[in-house]
Amino acid sequence: MTQPVRDTTAVNANSPIGVFDSGLGGLSVLRHIHAQLPHEHLIYFADSGHAPYGGRSEEWVVQRSLAIAAFLFGQGSKALVVACNTATVAAIKAIRTEWPGMPIVGVEPGLKPGAAATRSGKVGVLATDRTLHSEKFLTLRDQVASATGTEFLLQPCIGLVDQIELGQLGSEATMALLDQYVAPLLDDGADTLVLGCTHYPFVEEQIRDVAARHASHDASSPVTLIDTGDAVARQLARLLEGAGLQRPAGVPHLRGYTTASPAVLAEAFRTLLALTPQVEGIEV
């Protein structure tokens, strides 16, 4: 396993931003970063060879996340985005301890914006089992529920990440999973769904289809979906500006690394983001 790289004194505004996820899901965050910070160099690491993280032990996720962070900082990254909900809840504290002072941004389910958006007072949360049972998530849920009176309905989505990793966004199997996970939340009165995994924004259209044809759902009030990728990009921009590390201009470059098939990651870049970066297979 890669040893932590702690010497980050050589970073400057021209250094890249490192972004990683258990697989392809973090591309949903990368697209917001690319849109909001169009001049920044970016490195994306997809750990698809070890995905999904949701069923792994917390210790495994921590060690895996530290190894990937070490690789990205070793590539000269000036900031790190942990674009994975499971890795954030398990490992972001450990990453910040290893690299104190570096801009490090994680993702967490958008419970606060979900509470602000709901009309019924009930918000469904779609996430991995690991995220939903983490102490960090449950503490956040209790805080937001207490402050707003919102009832959060938690739905682990076993198998959904695997389908998205396979590119089966609208397949019969994927739609069956979405029916299984989304319909009960609507039956229980949820009018807002928090996408608590960075993979899930890539099936937003399919989730809306399930909600639209669900007989008990009010078609005049479409379900609201909460994706926190935009908020992550804004927080990253604030941290870079505060550290004097924003790249003001110039042509950016984008590199991709994956522990699985480079062709699969390259195709995901092309079909999901309309980007064609250089992609390399690597084991970390």
Q: How many helices (H) and strands (E) does the chain have?
A: 11, 10
pLDDT at 1: 41
Each domain of the chain, given as residue ranges in start order, spans: 17-107+229-281, 111-226
Around Cβ 208, how many Cβ atoms within 10 Å? Answer: 15
197 is catalytic: yes
198 is in an annotated binding site: yes
Which fold is adopted by the domain 17-107+229-281?
Answer: Rossmann fold (3.40.50)
Q: What is the pLDDT of residue 8?
A: 56
Q: What is the CATH number of domain 111-226?
A: 3.40.50.1860
pLDDT at 10: 81
Looking at residue 3, its pLDDT comes to 44
pTM of the model: 0.91
Those residues of the chain that have pLDDT short of 50 are: 1-5
**Is 257 annotated in some ligand binding site?**
no
* Domains 17-107+229-281 and 111-226 in one fold: yes
Of the residues 81, 197, 211, 236, only one is catalytic, namely 197
pLDDT score of 24: 96
157 is catalytic: no
**Predicted pLDDT at 2:** 44
Indicate which residue of 84, 89, 104, 207 is catalytic. 84
- Is 54 one of the annotated binding-site residues? yes
Q: What is the pLDDT of residue 54?
A: 86
CA distances in angstroms from 38 to 133, 226, 248, 250, 252, listed in the order given: 36, 23, 9, 9, 7
